[in-house]
Amino acid sequence: PSPRSCQPDGTNEEALRCEIEELRQKDLALDQEIAQLLSDGYSLEELEKHISLLHEYNDIKDAGQMLLGKLAVIRGVTTKQLYPEYDLELSD
């Protein structure tokens, strides 16, 4: 997304208009991205499944990070220090 193209003049009404315009622009950009993916041969079902799997992955990763954090507190070390013990990369 591009930087804010609309600068509200300080009124709530103008701020809402700017927010609505920004949301319209985002909606248009997403529609264009979806159209591009469809033209590249992806199906809506495939894209929805991929998004669902990404959400599931992120939930699992968040749970793992939380557990590593709790374990690090119990052991009195940093989370980063636990990564080699569990064969994790810092980019994981």
User: Which tens digits make up the pLDDT trace of 9-38?
Assistant: 667 888 899 999 999 999 999 999 989 988
CA atoms within 13 A on the CB side of 30: 7
Q: What is the pTM of this model?
A: 0.55
* Chain-centre distance for alpha carbon 38: 21
How much of the chain exceeds pLDDT 70, in percent? 88
Q: Name every residue whose Cβ is closer than 8 Å to that of residue 82 and which is 6 or more positions away in sequence.
A: 68, 71, 72, 75, 88
Average pLDDT, the chain: 88
Domain borders along the chain are: 8-42, 43-91
pLDDT of amino acid 10: 66
